[in-house]
Structures are given as structure tokens and as C-alpha cells.
Amino acid sequence: MTPRNRLAALLVAVLVLVGVACSGSDATSGAAITTTTSTTEASPSTTTAARTLEVLVTNDDGFDAAGIDAVVEALAAQPDIHVTVVAPATNQSGTGDKTTEGTLVHRDVKTPSGHDAIAVEGHPADSVNVALDELGVKPDLVVSGTNIGQNIGPLTKISGTVGAALTAVRRGIPALAASTGLGDGADYPATAKLVVDWVREHRAAILAKTAPVQVESLNVPTCAAGAVRGLMKGIVLATDFKGRNAVDVNCTSTKAEADMVDDVDAFANGFASLTVVPLG
């Protein structure tokens, strides 16, 4: 199945689950906006600053996907971050936060770039549970992704990438879900850079246990023309598409940042979006 057909299938499922066709207006607008330039939080203590950040990386495309490989390599290159990879053995896109009963088979594997990993015969959420319960991994943070295909608006409800992150948060671990937009030559490097920026920005608070235990969902366009226009933090998560196209993105758009009403709007107009995903 092609990436575009895959997203189309997900959209059909969303239409059934959330009733995209219903009418109504957005309740909120004027979301907080920032650029891709991030600032590192002040470290609460010298001890916290010196500690290695333990990061569990998973995804829904499978351990051998190019997206997770890009993120793992980018994070592993940081001097004060230790990465453990536990991910599905096969593509598990669209499985949300489903889990599997019983004991799951898992085995030692390597990512495409040769990083050690564990492949789990189960869903993304299963991979998180296996890492915590069977492998004894004790992460400070879970990073899920990056996967191929934007998980914006209602698509977050069925995303395995987001489902793994939700599983981590329900177990008391902050999580970042990362997705890269559809397009020729998916821009995994751009997503991986923004993941590293996010981790470095939040590292001190995560280690000090003062960071919110929540899922933040990062969606980065793949631009056919132009470049990603910036990163919009705290943008509202759309509850439906309201007839908007969730596939196409215009990175040469001139729509003003202040006029972006939600993550679907921001993404379609060439911005990377960062939203908080509800646990419900």
C-alpha cells in the first residue's frame, strides 16, 4: 500500500470514529506560536545536568523503518543521551493503543544503521509494555517515531505512533510522538532534528521530574517546494477536518501564523506542529 493510500485508509476509519462530516466552528483560535529555534531550559541542579537521559525509542512502522533509524541515530549522537530501541517487528500502522494479551515473542535485531534493538511481535503499545515489564528498561522519556504519514487532528486517535506514547504516559513517563508528512523523499532528517531540539529543551525538567507527564505530538511536513516555515508550539489539536485535505501541504503558503486555528491548518500551510494529545 502506498503512503497516500495508507493515509486515505486511515481517514476512512477516522470518518467512522469521529464523524468528520458534522458541522460546527472551531472553539479556539490564535494558538501560541514559536519558531524552530528552541532554548534550553535552565538546569535545576548540577547533578541533573550531568545525568544521562535514558530514552526509549519505539514506533509503529517497525524497527527496520527509515524514520525510526533517523531518530535513533540523531539521539544516539548526543553525548548525554542513552537510547534503547524496542519496536514492533512489523508495520503496525493504525493500531492506536491496542495491546495483546499473553506473553509476546521478542528478539534481538538491529536498525538499518546498525543500532541494537529489540523487535516485539505485537503492537506499538505492546513494545512499550515489553520494554518496561520484561526487559527492565527504565526510561526517563519515551520517543515514538518518526513514522511516515502525518498524525494530525483526528488521525491521532488511531495512530500507533501516538498510541505507544499514550501507553508510556499512562505509566508515568513523559512521551514525544513524532510523525513525518507524506511526500517524495520523506524529510526524516528535519523531523529528527526537531526531535533532538525538543529533547534538549526539555531534558533538565524531565530529569528533575518537573516536566508534565503528557504526550506531545510533533508533525513535520515533507515539502515538495519551499521549506518548513517554522514550528508552532501549543497549537490546538483539531477535532475534525471540516472538509480540509489532510494529505496535501503547501510550504510556500503565505497564510499568516496568527490565522492558524489548529494543527491541521498549520500543517497544511507548511508549519511543523506541536500539540498536546488528550489521554482520553
Q: Confidence class of residue 88 from pLDDT cuts 50, 70 and 90?
A: very high
d(CA 244, CA 86): 35
Parallel, antiparallel, or unpaired: how do β-strands 116-120 and 231-233 relate?
unpaired
- Identify any residues that bridge with 275 across adjacent strands, giving them in sequence order: 217
Residue type, 192: A
CB 93 within 8 A of CB 149: yes
d(CA 280, CA 278): 6
Residue type, 269: N
Q: Confidence class of residue 48 from pLDDT cuts 50, 70 and 90?
A: low
d(CA 277, CA 151): 11
Domains of the chain: 3-277 (3.40.1210.10)
Q: Confidence class of residue 248 from pLDDT cuts 50, 70 and 90?
A: confident
Averaged over 134-142, what is the pLDDT? 97
pTM > 0.85: yes or no: no
pLDDT for the residue numbered 245: 84
